[in-house]
Structure 1
Amino acid sequence: MYASLEDMVLRFGEREVRTLTDRDNTGEIDAAVLAGGLQAASDEINGYIGGRYTLPLPVVPSNLRGIAYDIARYRLTGTERVCTDEIRGRYRAAIRYLENVANGWVTLATTQNGGTLQGNAGAAFFSGRRIWGRNQTGGGGF
């Protein structure tokens, strides 16, 4: 996963994370509900970047953590949890970013050594020997 419970609390505060996850009104953060939201966010991210990068990534770029926060937050809203314009806007911005990564217009952040993660997209063309030509037909003309 790209983010953790602790990451979500640091990013949005305990009160908001509790509001997003406490479906049984216990007054506590429901770690299982949060884990489901974070897994959904990671799966969505992987769906976009998996065609360009080898998964799992060797290092999770900090920008993907931010994307995971915003996607998980959006995914945890619903029937009883209000999806605000801010939450929806941040989700849409996250998806636009992932679409740009998938299209190769944006590369993911750096590795631990300071380099850029290398994508695995591209095409290779190979030429074989000619299998049909004038000399193979046994005739020279009409």
Structure 2
Amino acid sequence: MPYATQADLVSRFGEQELIDQTDRINGAVVDAAVVARELAYAGAVIDAYLASRYALPLPDPVPDLLVGLCCDLARYALYTDAAPETVRDRYKDAVARLRDIAAGAIKLDLATPSVASSGLVQIDTGARLFSRENR
């Protein structure tokens, strides 16, 4: 599920940064395929954290918190060499927030109920096949 778009990245970090990180040959335009690949990867990371607590895919609209986290994850992934310290810090903060969401410390405001609100597993074994009453 796409949590953010190229337009979200441009509005947060500017078009020039995307050009610098995606068009390594000419440095003239944003390579939409590279951006789409990194946004998909960031979405997969988010899904991995959310799957234990929420039914996926999430209903629309995507919470603003997840849009921002997706942008921070994708931005970090766009830096193939050495990401600046601020980019790295935002990435680490995004991962920490995703861990908090998975642990239940941060709750997303969604219309659908969560998958595992108590964190406990419930097993239904059905009727017993053999018992004193049923031999």
Provide TM-score, normalisation by structure 2.
Answer: 0.83
Larger Rg: 1
CA contact 2:38–2:74 (8 Å) conserved in 1: yes
- What TM-score do the two structures reach when normalised by structure 1? 0.79
Q: Which runs of 5+ in 2 are unaligned?
A: none
Whether 1:16 aligns to 2:11 is no
- Secondary structure in structure 1 of the residue aligned to 2:115: coil
**Runs in 1 of length 4+ with deviation above 4 angstroms?**
125-133
Q: Secondary structure at the match of 1:53?
A: coil
Among all aligned residue pairs of Structure 1 and Structure 2, give the percentage whose two residues are the same amino acid: 39
User: Larger RCO: Structure 1 or Structure 2 (Cα < 8 Å, ≥ 6 residues apart)?
Assistant: 2
**Which residue does the alignment assign to 2:78?**
76
Alignment of 1:104-119 (within 5 A): 104-108=104-108, 110-111=109-110, 117-119=112-114
Q: Which structure 1 residue ranges, 5 or more long, are not aligned?
A: 137-142
What is the number of equivalent residue pairs in this alignment? 127
Q: Distance in 1 between matches of 2:31 and 2:104?
A: 37
Report the more deviating stretch, 46-55 or 119-128: 119-128
How far apart are 1:132 and its partner, in Å? 9.1
Higher mean C-alpha deviation, range 4-13 or range 14-23: 14-23
